[in-house]
Chain A
């Protein structure tokens, strides 16, 4: 029988949750790296026992860990993220030039085909690649070197490159997203990049022009691997869709109670079934009405249904961060969310019903799942 391994990064360590395909009974291992912030942890699609974790504290900075046995043992690998060439400046919150400074890794994206190749999205926004299992890192400097780079500005959480989305059908193409610059796409394996933000509107955030080419606070983008030209986006406000590989976007917020949120995901087997977790507003990072509701659209957007069974429907004021929702590839598709209150919920029936796997972890920063044979 297949199994699932859920990789949970929290403010105070990493946890690994495992179950068989029924997803009813769970074993909880951890904390790994206790006391350290684990911003993201992800497994290689090419070798599921190869895991990577981004470990960090304000005190001691960035560490990268690698496991070759599914998370039982770990070894540190390279943690030098040196910007390529002249560092230059971007804009600070007050609009003045500010030197680029590496702060930490937000997202690790292993290659779909090679366990030794992975990408790291970092703050201040840049994309690094390793081709030796994380031992060394090289910046794909064409991104930060884009003409608009000196005008990028941080969002409230810092100027982070938080989404790395390789096109599964085209090894030359990849999408990334930066708060608060927006989406960029490469069609030449990271040498050059183009902004992909047409159709986004960011009124009342910080832009003088709400439809500017660059400067949007994109929170997350997602795709279904069978249809990589269709992208879904949770923006600071607005849920958006692109049907032309990011060249243009249109809004699909429809009947959501709020179109503010962080994560967005696509069902593993239904490319038009998508999930978001609305929260009240940019200044109130908790669900509307104290009810934790995942919203599902089976129509690729605009028409949304609230998924509530098994989720707290009163006095609930947690958030689900951008990397803290994921899906497995079992049938029926499993959906997972981790909350800032330390709960990890699993739905083994595509969102219809939910049960907590654990309730009392530290603040959950990221949730990834591996479907194992």
Chain B
């Protein structure tokens, strides 16, 4: 089970409270977690990564276990603590603007 922590605007959009819990078939990677997240909550498609290119949106960052995973490739495995559900995968809106 993977725990995903979304920023407030995306929790509102997806109508969820607290963390999202996902079961991932196969290896837990950034790509597979986002695929499952978007499958469960289609409204999030396009808000974290581009519809067409799949690229992370510029002001969205990914963290887990005190590591910045924003620029890791989509098929990079997530830390084992995330895979075991001990630590959340954090989707964060970068500090910018006003």
Contacts and interface: CB of A to CB of B under 8 A. Distances in A.
A59 B91 CA distance: 11
B24 interface: no
A61 B47 contact: yes
Given A36-B9, A76-B13, A80-B51, A59 B46 contact: no
Give 10 closest A-B pairs by Cβ, nearest first.
Answer: A60-B47, A59-B59, A59-B93, A76-B43, A80-B51, A79-B46, A61-B46, A58-B59, A61-B47, A82-B52
A63 interface: yes
A6 to B, nearest CB: 24
Interface in A125-153: none
A80 B45 contact: yes
A60 B38 CA distance: 14
A76 B43 CA distance: 7
Given A58-B96, A63-B47, A81-B51, 16 more contacts: A58-B58, A59-B57, A59-B60, A59-B93, A59-B96, A60-B9, A60-B13, A61-B46, A61-B57, A63-B46, A76-B13, A76-B43, A79-B46, A80-B45, A80-B46, A80-B51
Interface string B87-98: 000000110110
Interface of A: 35-36, 57-63, 76, 79-82
A63 B42 CA distance: 12
Nearest to A62: B46
B57 A60 contact: yes
Contacts of B97: 58
20 contacts: A58-B96, A58-B97, A59-B57, A59-B59, A59-B60, A59-B94, A60-B13, A60-B47, A60-B57, A60-B60, A60-B93, A61-B46, A61-B50, A62-B46, A63-B43, A63-B46, A63-B47, A80-B45, A80-B46, A82-B52
B21 to A, nearest CB: 21
Main secondary structure of the interface of B (DSSP, over half): loop
A79 B93 CA distance: 19
B63 to A, nearest CB: 15
B65 interface: no
A59 B45 contact: no
Contacts of A61: 46-47, 50, 57
Contacts of B58: 58
B10 interface: yes
A35 B98 CA distance: 10
Nearest to A11: B98
Contacts of A76: 13, 43
Contacts of A59: 7, 9, 57, 59-60, 93-94, 96
A61 B58 CA distance: 10
Contacts of B46: 61-63, 79-80
B57 to A, nearest CB: 6
B3 to A, nearest CB: 20
Given A35-B9, A76-B13, A76-B43, A60 B51 contact: no
B33 interface: no
Contacts of B34: none
Nearest to B58: A58
B48 interface: yes
A140 B52 CA distance: 18
Q: Which one of A36, A58, A59 has the greatest number of beta carbons of chain B within 10 Å?
A: A59
Nearest to A57: B9
A80 B47 CA distance: 11
A138 to B, nearest CB: 14
Nearest to B94: A59
B10 A82 contact: no
